[in-house]
Amino acid sequence: MPYVVTEACVDVKDRSCVRECPVDCIYEGDRQMYIHPEECIDCGACEEVCPVDAIVFDDDVTPELAAQADRGRQLLVPLGRLGGARRHGPLGTDHPDVAALPSRA
Ligand code: SF4
Ligand code: SF4
């Protein structure tokens, strides 16, 4: 099971996790990052560096976080494997639930 990004990343997006990911599977949405569940190798490097504890191991997701933790899967799996976030570039979108959140800026 992969690591997932939760709502704590919204409007923070400092990209500390991106720099640590050995397989470059953390994709940039307009307001938060998303881990590709089919590309993540479960190394845990990203979780340790997130300043707002937005990254959670899937098995440790609480019922309260379940809906937001699933947004990356819903957004990215239909797109298939994307071949790396640097090569792909920003997604140019967000999960609709993230897009609808009030601004934290
Ligand atoms: S757990 Fe490892 S492979 Fe998965 S997103 Fe984090 S740094 Fe990348
Ligand atoms: S380190 Fe945390 S807050 Fe920063 S971009 Fe990654 S998930 Fe978002």
For residue 41, being part of any structural domain is answered with yes
Given a cut of 90, is residue 10 above it in pLDDT? yes
Given a cut of 90, is residue 13 above it in pLDDT? yes
Given a cut of 80, is residue 85 above it in pLDDT? yes
pLDDT band for 105, please (50, 70, 90 cuts). Answer: confident
Residues with a CB atom less than 6 Å from ligand 2: 5, 9, 12-17, 33, 49-50, 52, 54-55
Given a cut of 80, is residue 35 above it in pLDDT? yes
pLDDT in tens, 14-27: 999 999 999 999 99
CATH number at residue 49: 3.30.70.20
pLDDT in tens, 36-68: 999 999 999 999 999 999 999 999 999 999 999
The Cα-based distances of 35 to 4, 49, 73 in angstroms read: 6, 15, 8
For residue 10, being part of any structural domain is answered with yes
Q: Which atom of ligand 2 is nearest to the CA of 13?
A: 5
For residue 105, being part of any structural domain is answered with no
Q: Which atom of ligand 2 is nearest to the CA of 53?
A: 2
For residue 40, being part of any structural domain is answered with yes
For residue 94, being part of any structural domain is answered with no
- The total of structural domains in the chain comes to 1
pLDDT number for residue 104: 86
For residue 56, being part of any structural domain is answered with yes
For residue 93, being part of any structural domain is answered with no
Q: E-assigned strands of the chain?
A: 3-5, 26-28, 33-35, 55-57
* Residue ranges making up the domain that contains 81: 3-87
Phi/psi at 42 (nearest 5 deg)?
65, 35
Provide CB contacts within 8 A for 70, sequence distance 6+.
Answer: 4
For residue 97, being part of any structural domain is answered with no
